[in-house]
């Protein structure tokens, strides 16, 4: 008695589906007909969600510059389609950012969403985007749970723990003695240190101690640095960004640690505007990151020149490259996509393959994070300008 | 002995921080004690001082260490800006006796001011260079310690002594104290109390700006610092006792040690220590540890 009923119930949605498709096709047919039946003429609507105010303003500026540069180099077209970019301010945190992202999805009806610096915002926006089946290309936020293989979420940046782990073997082999770990006490800080610690101990490294400093309220690192000195630590691995990165690096030098305790860190410690503010205190700090404007390749040299010309003489940062690559990914995907709607873009994103980038070529892994090369970088002074010179590529 | 070995640097740094905290808090305490005005724009005024320091002294890559003369100029410029800010705040708060309305008004001014500051200086965090000669570390019993922090401590002690001498041992200090106790009587003997108290407000704000400028090489200059400074100042003043200079000294020393020695000893609780200390003091001495002997505080 159950069987026929079940069969019938399966037929009803199928029939409705066919009906809906017919209606849809009829509707699309007329609109496409007006544009000469050519798919390539259809415009693609992209939502660009970047911080335009608050503490991440300079990151947002770099990313907007990288994104605009790519469009500029490609006649404002992605995959042969004209692009309409709708921008929104991500602000400082999820309370502003998630709402702005949701508005891009609902009110502006964008086909694809790009950007987001803050991990909390990225997690919220991801939920909204996946629910509406709109692809979301994450161009910075590094929290582990952002990219999980969902067909709608693709990250052109990094994972916090991946950055931490990338330098672990190098530290384990080149430091003679235990290493002290410290970071700002929030989710990202714990992911960086956790990723580093796991790989570091697996490589035979010994941990001298571990401390997490209150976030964001640590102005004075003296008590913590004294604690490091009291141990037999031969090196420190630390994660800080923004204002805390400036104070940490300066005080690390002020309290005399930089002379004999090598400082290792994820590259955000000395990336972009904070490096200039740190000044000479940053000299000799060794970091890991998937980019430096000093990468010595023809592709990167061309990129740096173009970026300087396009962005008021500024040097490109990792943030700029991540946004530049987000545009590149979208370019390749749209070139292969059947249309400019969300579903077509999402389907095409799984077929982008290798991406040529100033950071070196990379491709998406199973979780849709970049499978990329990290570089060991050291802060050096090149005639009054501080930069992150490449020491060597790090094998993962 | 072993404990002292492990912690003497924390204690020294605690005193250096106490110096900065005192400078930041004493203006707030003075204005409340003598004028009975709760000035929540105090942190914003200090931030203006910090940015004036950043603008004059520079900092970061490629910046040469400023000379002592430049540093003096920066502090004086901050003092002048603070004076002007204080006069403006006096005019705006004149005639408002209700603490809640004062707080709302000055908080609004603070929000506008900090927004204007971050618009004109940009959102990027600035570091401020210490003057030449103080931009290095000195050796304290074998441990490196930044020379500038010792200088800042010395400067704070000096300023504190001057404030004390002026208030307790000069004619104008006596008049200020009298005006606080009985404004009408002071007017009756021929002093215009609004002018007098406006002057105190200006000096209080000027002290905040000087504090911000002197703290620059330690705390930098960035948006949000105004809130941190205001919070520290309020905690110090509440612990020490509103309107009391000696209280501000004691509160600053206590919080300075809590932020260094305390953080080092109770690392896991670092985030709660400052407010924990304040809560303890309020529990046992609700008027603060050394409430004003004169003045409006506690008199309502």
CB contact under 8 A, A246 and B63: no
Contacts of A255 in chain B (CB under 8 A): 137, 143-146
- Chain pair A-B, CB pairs under 8 angstroms: 105
Q: Which helix (H) or strand (E) holds A391?
A: strand A385-394
**Is A279 at the interface with chain B, CB within 8 A?**
yes
**Looking at residue B294, what is its pLDDT?**
55
**Is A57 at the interface with chain B, CB within 8 A?**
yes
Give the span between the Cα atoms of A328 and A43, in whole angstroms: 17
Residue of A nearest to B5 (CA): A230
Q: Which of B17, B53, B61 to mutate to test the interface with A (most CBs of A within 10 A)?
A: B61
Burial class (CB within 10 angstroms; exposed 0-12, middle 13-18, buried 19+) of B139: exposed
**Is A210 at the interface with chain B, CB within 8 A?**
no
**Looking at residue B93, what is its pLDDT?**
87
- Which residues does chain B have with pLDDT short of 50? 295-300
**Is B13 at the interface with chain A, CB within 8 A?**
yes
**Which is it for the CA torsion A149, A150, A156, A160, positive or negative?**
negative
> In Å, how far is A74's CA from the nearest CA of chain B?
31
Which among A57, A219, A250 has the least Cβ separation from residue B127?
A: A250
> What's the per-residue H, E or C state across chain B?
CHHHHHHHHHHHHHHHHHHHHHHHHHHHHHHHHHHCCCCCCHHHHHHHHHHHHHHHHCCCCCCCCCCHHHHHHHHHHHHHHHHHHHHHHHHHHCCCCCHHHHHHHHHHHHHHHHHHHHHHHCCCCECCCCCCCCCCEEEECCEEEEHHHHHHHHHHHHHHHHHHHHHHHCHHHHHHHHHHHCHHHHHHCCCCHHHHHHHHHHHHHHHHHHHHHHHHHHHCECCCHHHHHHHHHHHHHHHHCCCCHHHHHHHHHHHHHHHHHHHHHCHHHHHHHHHHHHHHHHHHCCCCCCCCCCCCCCCC
CA dihedral B61, A91, A240, B229 (to 10 degrees): 80
> What's the per-residue H, E or C state across A352-365?
CCCECCCCCCEEEC
Contacts of B132 in chain A (CB under 8 A): none
Instruction: Give the ipTM of the model, two decimals please.
Output: 0.88
Give the span between the Cα atoms of B169 and B163, in whole angstroms: 10
**Looking at residue A351, what is its pLDDT?**
92
CB distance A147 to A153 below 8 Å: yes
**Looking at residue B161, what is its pLDDT?**
94
Residue B50's CB is within 10 A of a number of other CB atoms, namely 29
CB distance B232 to B21 below 8 Å: yes
Six-digit token pair at A11?
């037929």
Residue B267's CB is within 10 A of a number of other CB atoms, namely 16
Contacts of B129 in chain A (CB under 8 A): 279
CB contact under 8 A, B143 and A256: yes
Is the pTM here over 0.90, yes or no?
A: no
Across the beta sheet with A385-394, what order do the strands follow? A207-213, A179-184, A235-239, A262-266, A286-289, A374-382, A385-394
Nearest to A115, CA basis, from A90, A79, A91: A90
Per-residue pLDDT of chain A (396 residues; tens, 9 = 90+): 344 444 444 444 444 444 454 444 444 444 443 333 345 568 999 999 999 988 888 899 999 999 999 999 999 999 999 999 999 999 988 999 999 999 999 999 999 999 999 999 999 999 999 999 999 999 999 999 999 999 999 999 999 999 999 999 999 999 999 999 999 999 999 999 999 999 999 999 999 999 999 887 788 999 999 999 999 999 999 999 888 999 999 999 999 999 899 999 999 999 988 999 999 999 999 999 999 999 999 999 999 999 999 999 999 999 999 999 999 999 999 999 999 999 999 999 999 999 999 999 999 999 999 999 999 999 999 887 899 999 999 975
What residues of chain B, 41 to 100, have a C-beta less than 8 Å from chain A? 59-63
**Looking at residue B286, what is its pLDDT?**
86
Max alpha carbon distance in chain A (Å)?
86
CB distance A220 to B149 below 8 Å: no
Altogether, the residues listed in chain B come to a count of 300
**Is A84 at the interface with chain B, CB within 8 A?**
no
Residue of B nearest to A216 (CA): B271
Residue B92's CB is within 10 A of a number of other CB atoms, namely 15
For residue B299, the number of C-alpha atoms closer than 13 Å in the C-beta half-sphere is: 15
**Looking at residue B293, what is its pLDDT?**
63
Give the span between the Cα atoms of A211 and A253, in whole angstroms: 19
Q: Which of A223, A278, A315 to mutate to test the interface with B (most CBs of B within 10 A)?
A: A223
**Is A219 at the interface with chain B, CB within 8 A?**
yes
Give the span between the Cα atoms of A343 and B195, in whole angstroms: 72
Residue of B nearest to A244 (CA): B125
**Is B273 at the interface with chain A, CB within 8 A?**
no
What residues of chain B, 171 to 190, have a C-beta less than 8 Å from chain A? none
Give the span between the Cα atoms of B32 and B12, in whole angstroms: 30
**Is B223 at the interface with chain A, CB within 8 A?**
yes
Six-digit token pair at B85?
């800010």
């Amino acid at each position: 008695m159950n069987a026929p009923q079940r069969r019938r119930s399966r037929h009803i949605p199928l029939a409705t589906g066919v009906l809906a498709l017919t209606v849809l096709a009829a509707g699309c047919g007329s609109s496409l007909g007006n544009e000469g039946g050519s798919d390539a003429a259809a415009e693609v609507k992209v939502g660009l969600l970047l911080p335009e105010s608050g503490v991440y303003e300079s990151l947002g500026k770099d990313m907007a510059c990288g994104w605009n540069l790519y469009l500029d180099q490609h006649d404002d077209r992605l995959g042969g389609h004209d692009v309409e970019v709708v921008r929104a301010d991500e602000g400082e945190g999820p309370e502003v950012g998630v709402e702005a992202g949701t508005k891009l999805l609902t009110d502006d009806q964008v086909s694809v969403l790009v950007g987001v610096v803050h991990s909390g915002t990225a997690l919220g926006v991801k939920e909204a985007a996946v629910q509406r089946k709109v692809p979301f290309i994450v161009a910075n936020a590094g929290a582990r749970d952002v990219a999980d293989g969902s067909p709608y979420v693709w990250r052109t940046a990094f994972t916090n723990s991946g950055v931490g782990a990338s330098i672990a073997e190098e530290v384990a082999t080149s430091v003679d003695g235990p290493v002290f770990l410290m970071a700002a006490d929030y989710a990202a800080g714990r992911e960086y240190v956790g990723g580093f610690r796991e790989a570091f101990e697996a490589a035979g490294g010994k941990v001298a101690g571990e401390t997490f400093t209150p976030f964001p309220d640590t102005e004075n690192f003296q008590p913590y640095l004294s604690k490091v000195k009291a141990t037999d630590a031969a090196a420190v691995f630390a994660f800080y960004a923004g204002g805390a990165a400036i104070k940490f690096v300066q005080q690390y030098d002020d309290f005399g640690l930089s002379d004999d305790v090598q400082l290792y860190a994820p590259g955000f410690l000395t990336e972009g505007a904070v490096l200039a503010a740190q000044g000479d205190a940053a000299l000799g700090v060794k970091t890991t990151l998937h980019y430096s404007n000093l990468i010595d390749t023809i592709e990167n040299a061309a990129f740096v020149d173009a970026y300087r010309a396009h962005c008021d003489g500024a040097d490109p940062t990792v943030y700029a490259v991540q946004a530049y690559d987000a545009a590149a990914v979208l370019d390749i995907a749209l070139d292969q996509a059947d249309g400019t709607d969300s579903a077509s873009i999402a389907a095409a994103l799984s077929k982008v393959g290798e991406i040529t980038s100033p950071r070196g070529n990379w491709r998406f892994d199973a979780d849709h994070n970049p499978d990329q090369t990290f570089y060991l970088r050291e802060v050096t002074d090149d005639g009054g300008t501080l930069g992150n010179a490449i020491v060597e590529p790090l094998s993962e | 002995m072993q404990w002292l070995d492990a912690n003497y640097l924390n204690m020294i740094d605690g005193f250096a921080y106490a110096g900065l905290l005192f400078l930041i808090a004493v203006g707030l305490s003075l204005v409340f004690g003598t004028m009975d005005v709760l000035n929540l724009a105090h942190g914003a005024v200090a931030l203006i001082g910090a940015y004036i320091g950043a603008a004059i002294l520079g900092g970061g890559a490629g910046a040469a260490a400023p000379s002592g003369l430049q540093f003096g100029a920066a502090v004086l410029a901050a003092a002048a800006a603070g004076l002007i800010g204080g006069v403006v705040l006096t005019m705006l708060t004149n005639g408002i006796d209700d603490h809640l309305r004062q707080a709302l008004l000055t908080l609004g001014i603070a929000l506008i001011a900090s927004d204007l500051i971050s618009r004109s200086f940009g959102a990027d965090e600035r570091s401020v260079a210490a003057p030449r000669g103080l931009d290095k570390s000195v050796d304290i019993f074998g441990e490196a310690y930044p020379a500038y922090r010792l200088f800042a401590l010395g400067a704070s002690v000096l300023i504190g002594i001057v404030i004390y001498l002026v208030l307790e041992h000069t004619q104008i200090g006596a008049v200020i104290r009298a005006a606080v106790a009985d404004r009408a009587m002071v007017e009756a003997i021929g002093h215009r109390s609004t002018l007098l108290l406006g002057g105190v407000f200006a000096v209080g704000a000027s002290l905040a700006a000087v504090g911000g400028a002197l703290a620059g090489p330690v705390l930098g200059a960035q948006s949000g610092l105004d809130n941190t400074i205001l919070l520290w100042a309020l905690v110090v003043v509440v612990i020490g006792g509103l309107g009391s200079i000696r209280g501000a000294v004691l509160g600053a020393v206590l919080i300075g040690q809590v932020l260094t020695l305390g953080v080092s000893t109770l690392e896991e609780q670092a985030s709660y220590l400052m407010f924990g200390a304040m809560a303890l003091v309020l529990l046992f001495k609700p008027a603060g540890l050394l409430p004003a002997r004169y003045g409006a505080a506690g008199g309502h």
